[in-house]
């Protein structure tokens, strides 16, 4: 894993000034990038500019469900430029993982781990997820104020990702700590201390993953690491690629799913009638997952690069141009969802939200995320019917990730 050089940091600072200037000129995407607490009103401003428009910051931007869906499924767009080069700075191994690769490398790497991510595997884990949640709640006095993120949500996701890798218990605390710190990369850096902290966590997560690889070399088992190592031995992928995929799963697995749960509980508590509905019928938990994914998604931006000139919704997009999909905007497109700004867990059938993306990069961990979030909503509704906010939630200040650092609650 590598982290930004001082040149990259300087470039970042210059970009921030430019983005600020463009936001002052009224550019909706620039306003979203400035980490505003509520991106949705800027998505609406973007919608007023048509299904797709060119931001003053540079990329094309779409908040339109149909346009976004078409782009994500269009083979003329990729995640890198047509020559295979990145058009973004590399921060963590995630940037070299298959999330950021086009076919054929994407296909080769994704195929290696797909068997581990079927819905059946995670359905079978429901009793384990439930007992992990119960153990977390048993360990705290829920009548007193506690942080839902630190006490319940993050420990659950860390454990489920460690399960996939079979991380030894002795390394659990180190693994969890490094995943959480590395996940902060999405927020950028505002101090040298933050930068140093990230650098240390990235290096240490890498070291833990390399040790794990060595361990499995001697004693393989039924886990993602052993599967990737077998592929490495057969010449299917390099050791760096093995570490890259493991890094991707570590960060992608813990961060977004924790935020899905936090955002969902926040939406429920801010809409008490919806919380009452769930308490009366916990089988609505999967609907809470779907509605949270649509209404307040943990990831707000998906990026693509045109590999050839393409016409999209009447606009000419040139080869090499970047398109940003505003997930939160597409999920609140009134043409796709009636009364889109309403949080309604009884909404029923409608098009899938774009929160897990679509097409060849459709989130591999969607079944795991769905199962874990569903069980969390179920268990909270059953065990803590008096759950309420016990202080203002502390938001993460990132434009791509939307979630809570801390969420004080009590029951």
Applying CB under 6 A, which residues contact ligand HEM? 79, 98-99, 110, 161, 248-249, 252-253, 256-257, 260, 298-299, 302, 355-357, 361, 363-365, 368-369
Buried-exposed string 281-303: b where 16+ CB fall within 10 A, e elsewhere: eeebbebbbbbbbbbbbbbbbbe
């799913």: which residue's tokens? 257
Please choose, from the candidates 113, 144, 124, the residue with its C-alpha nearest in 3D space to the C-alpha of residue 245: 113
Q: What are the beta bridge partners of residue 401?
A: 299
Is 118 buried (19+), middle (13-18) or exposed (0-12) by CB count in 10 A? exposed
Distance CA 153, CA 171 (A): 20
Q: Residue 142 or residue 159: which is nearer to ligand HEM going by CB?
A: 159
Nearer to ligand HEM, 22 or 205 (CB): 205
Q: Which CB atom, from 91 or from 356, has the smaller least distance to ligand HEM? A: 356
Residue 125 or 357 with smaller CB distance to ligand HEM: 357
Q: Are 375 and 165 in contact (CB under 8 A)?
A: no
Closest CA to 257 of 177, 360, 152: 152
32 or 368: whose CB is closer to ligand HEM?
368
Question: 10 Å Cβ neighbour count for 95?
Answer: 19
CB 98, min distance to ligand HEM, A: 5
CB of 369 to ligand HEM, least distance (A): 4
Rounded to whole angstroms, how far apart are CA atoms 87 and 76? 16
CB of 139 to ligand HEM, least distance (A): 24
Beta carbon nearer to ligand HEM, 84 or 385: 84
Q: ω before 61 within 30° of 0 (cis)?
A: no
Q: How far is the CB of 104 from ligand HEM (least distance, A)?
A: 13
Q: Helix axis angle, 285-295 relative to 272-280, nearest 10°? A: 150
Q: Distance between CA 165 and CA 167 in Å, rounded?
A: 5
Bridge-partner residues for 54, per DSSP? 60
Q: CB nearer to ligand HEM: give 103 or 334.
A: 103
Report the nearest approach of ligand HEM to the CB of residue 190 (Å): 25
Q: How far apart are CA 399 and CA 104, in angstroms?
A: 30
Residue with tokens 């045109």: 306
Q: Least separation, in Å, of the C-beta of 319 and ligand HEM?
A: 19
Tell the smallest beta-carbon distance from residue 394 to ligand HEM (Å): 20
> Tell me, what DSSP letter sits at residue 351?
P
Residue nearest to ligand HEM (CB): 365
Q: Which is nearer to ligand HEM, 116 or 337 (CB)?
A: 116
DSSP state of 401: B
Other Cβ atoms within 10 Å of 341 Cβ, number? 11
**Nearest CB to ligand HEM, comparing residues 18 and 88:** 88
Q: Least distance to ligand HEM from the beta carbon of 54, Å?
A: 21
| Smallest separation, CB 113 to ligand HEM (Å) | 7
Nearer to ligand HEM, 142 or 322 (CB): 322
Per-position DSSP letters for 129-192, written without gaps between them: HHHHHHHHHHTS-TTS-EEHIIIIIHHHHHHHHHHHHT--GGGHHHHHHHHHHHHGGGG--SSH
User: In the bound complex, what is the minimum distance in angstroms from residue 368's beta carbon to ligand HEM?
Assistant: 4
């Amino acid at each position: 894993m590598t982290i930004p050089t001082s040149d990259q940091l300087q470039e970042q600072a210059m970009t921030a000034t430019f983005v600020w200037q463009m936001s002052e000129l009224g550019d909706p995407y620039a306003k979203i990038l400035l980490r505003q607490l509520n991106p949705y009103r800027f998505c609406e401003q973007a919608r007023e500019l048509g299904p797709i428009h060119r931001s003053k910051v540079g990329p094309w931007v779409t908040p339109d469900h149909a346009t976004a869906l078409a782009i994500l499924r269009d083979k003329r767009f990729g995640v890198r430029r047509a020559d295979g080069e990145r058009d973004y700075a590399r921060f963590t191994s995630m940037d070299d993982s298959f999330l950021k690769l086009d076919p054929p490398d994407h296909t080769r790497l994704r195929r290696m781990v797909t068997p581990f991510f079927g819905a059946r595997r995670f359905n079978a884990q429901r009793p384990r997820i439930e007992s992990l949640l119960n153990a977390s709640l048993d360990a705290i006095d829920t009548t007193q104020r506690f942080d839902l993120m630190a006490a319940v949500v993050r420990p659950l996701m860390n454990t489920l990702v460690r399960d996939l890798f079979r991380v030894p218990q002795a390394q659990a605390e180190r693994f969890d700590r490094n995943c959480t710190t590395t996940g902060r990369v999405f927020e950028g850096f505002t101090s040298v201390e933050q930068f140093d902290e990230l650098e240390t966590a990235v290096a240490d997560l890498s070291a833990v993953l390399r040790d794990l690889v060595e361990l499995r070399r001697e004693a393989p088992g039924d886990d993602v690491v052993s599967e990737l190592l077998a592929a490495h031995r057969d010449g299917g992928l390099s050791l760096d690629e093995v570490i890259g995929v493991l890094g991707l799963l570590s960060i992608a697995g813990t961060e977004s799913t924790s935020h899905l749960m936090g955002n969902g509980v926040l939406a429920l508590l801010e809409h008490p009638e919806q919380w009452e509905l769930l308490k009366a019928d916990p089988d609505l938990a999967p609907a809470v997952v779907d509605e949270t994914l649509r209404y307040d998604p943990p990831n707000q931006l998906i990026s693509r690069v045109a590999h050839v000139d393409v016409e999209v919704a009447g606009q000419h997009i040139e080869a090499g141009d970047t398109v940003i999909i505003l997930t939160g905007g597409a999920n609140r497109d009134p043409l796709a969802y009636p009364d889109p700004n309403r949080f309604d867990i009884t909404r029923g059938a409608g098009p899938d939200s774009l929160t897990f993306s679509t097409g060849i990069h459709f989130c591999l961990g969607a079944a795991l995320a769905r199962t874990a979030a569903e069980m969390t909503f179920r268990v909270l509704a059953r065990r803590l019917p008096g759950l309420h906010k016990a202080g203002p939630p502390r938001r993460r200040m990132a434009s791509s990730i939307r979630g809570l650092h801390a969420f004080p609650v009590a029951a």
